[in-house]
Amino acid sequence: MIESIKWFDRQFSFDLPAWMYPNLVERVRGTPARAEDLVRALPREILTRRDGGKWSIQEHVGHLLDLESLGMQRLDDFAARRETLAPADLENRKTREANHNARGLAEILAALRSTRSEFVQRLESFDEAFVQRVSIHPRLKKPIRVLDLVFFIAEHDDHHLAQISALIRKFVSW
């Protein structure tokens, strides 16, 4: 299997046409179901097992939940026409401090599904003019549209789902 690169090493070109927006909304809508499909049959000892100092499968799922509030904040930033979007916590303190391995997986998945549903409802309410609004992404230091934010979130989701799949391949012998 080809090894993925670190998230912060990724480069992005935000040039998707507006007609891609509904497809991107579907990608982010499907993340909770895809996460659940990957992890629901795994025993707790696999879900919470770490590979060295890296996150466990359950911590990856929890991290997706932890970032939902940032996505909502950034939609608020676009609505308020802020020049720069809210910054992410690049140290991932929220995920480190959440102790996701001590929680039940069902609780994390239900919370992810609920918050993502709320996020998608907001995305579905936007017209094309709103989807084309531009603000500066604070880490990438480049202008992005709402459309690009949704692409960025979909890519981030897929990055963590791929990490989960890699851990499953490593820890589980079917």
Superfamily grouping for domain 7-171: dinb family like domain (1.20.120.450)
Which region, left, alpha or beta, applies to residue 126 given φ > 0 means left and ψ of -120 to 50 means alpha?
Answer: beta
Domain boundaries, the chain: 7-171
- Global model pTM greater than 0.85: yes
**55 and 63 in contact (C-beta within 8 Å)?**
yes
Tens digits of per-residue pLDDT, 2-33?
888 889 889 999 999 999 999 999 999 999 99
Residue 120: pLDDT above 70? yes
Q: Give the tens place of pLDDT for each residue, 105-118.
A: 999 999 999 999 99
